[in-house]
Amino acid sequence: MINYKRISIYTYTALVILVIGIVTKLFLVDMDMGSRFRNFNHQFLVSDFIFILAAIIFLLGQLFRVIKQNKKSTITDKTILIHLMLLMPLLFTLVSLPFLETFMPNQPLDDSIVSSVYKGVVIVAILGYFTWIVLFIITMVRQVFYILIKKD
């Protein structure tokens, strides 16, 4: 029997992103991101990027799980959830690109309402990502300090 309380929310998020990557690979427009860079002659598809993103999210979840299992750790489920919530707008932005390219190709980015909403989501995603970086560094330094320095 699977104990669902022991499975991290990061694992569920990584599974959802993995399913979206498979859907992108099989059914949606799989853009070549490598063609955007000068002198990059390899193919780097959006679905490949989504698979890498799912692996990174899964590994972050495992890192938090390992830290949380230490008896000296002060990390809580609330902290882990805050970290994921700061990453959600970025994940939504990156995962929604193939859907937008499939269902609204060649749409002008200047005049549509969808475009202005999407630009707002991108701004929130960038702010959330940089906030997450600072919070992640502070959390990791704090946990290393508590695990290595704190007495039992």
Q: Tell me: the pLDDT tens digits for 56-73?
A: 989 988 888 888 888 888
Q: Is the separation of the CB atoms in 129 and 59 below 8 Å?
A: no
Among 99, 94, 89, CA closest to 128: 89
Residue 87 backbone dihedrals phi, psi, to 5 degrees: -90, -20
Q: Tell me: the pLDDT tens digits for 15-55?
A: 888 998 888 888 877 776 665 566 666 677 778 888 888 99
The first and second tokens of residue 9, run together, are 């929310």
Q: What percent of the chain has pLDDT over 90?
A: 5
Q: What is the mean pLDDT of the chain?
A: 79
Q: Is the separation of the CB atoms in 90 and 133 below 8 Å?
A: no
The first and second tokens of residue 1, run together, are 């029997």
- Residue 2 confidence (pLDDT) above 60: no
pLDDT score of 145: 87
